[in-house]
Amino acid sequence: MSESSTAVKSSTNVIRIVFGIGGLVAVVLGIMILVWPLKTASIIAAFIAIYAIIAGLVYLGIGIFSKRLGVWSRIGHIVLGLLFIVAGIVAFTDLGNATLVLAFVVTLLIGISWIVEGIVALTVLGAVESKGWTIFYAIISILAGLAVLLAPIWAAALLWVFLGIALIVLGVVQIIRAFMVKTGGLAVAY
């Protein structure tokens, strides 16, 4: 076997492993969301809190130890670092409320983004050929965004269940893709 074909086979195996592990993680997380929705949300909130503390320490370190940044940039990094650290600690002190706030904020952002997306779709009407579909899309997007904003807790619950189902389906597809990667077939459609 040539060195080139060994490298291709090795690369193919790495792709299979990455697809397989990614798919497996998605399926497990999807099942966790559907079986233990609140507990899984709290676990995710805990990971976000850990991330916030780590990011805060990084920003703090950059602000304190960087010799290339100007004074205001260093102060900004220190302040940002302290904010991240405080947010992470506050989230850890009450994971239940942190989870609810996170769900509420994410849901509101989704609702707002759907409304904005619908409005943006309407602004390009003069430049698109499919005006009817664009108007239909804009109306659906704006109505969906309004529905989310008017009932954010209900919307958060529905979006959470949808995420769990989507993760399971996409995870299974990713696992299937892991088995379908052909040796030497690095032209996998990502």
E strands, the chain, in order: none
Which pLDDT band holds residue 187 (cuts at 50, 70, 90)? very low
Could you tell me the sign of the dihedral formed by the alpha carbons of 95, 114, 169, 35, in that order? positive
Phi, psi of 184, deg, nearest 5: 85, -5
Q: How much is the pLDDT for 4?
A: 63
Report which residue type is found at 135: I
- Number of helical (H) and strand (E) elements in the chain, helices listed first: 6, 0
List pLDDT tens digits, range 2-59.
666 676 677 778 888 998 999 999 999 999 999 999 999 999 999 999 999 999 999 9
CA atoms of 103 and 112, how far apart (whole Å): 14
CA atoms of 13 and 11, how far apart (whole Å): 5
Among 123, 119, 170, CA closest to 144: 119
Report whether 184 contacts 9 (CB < 8 A): yes
- The mean pLDDT of 129-149, rounded to a whole number, is 94
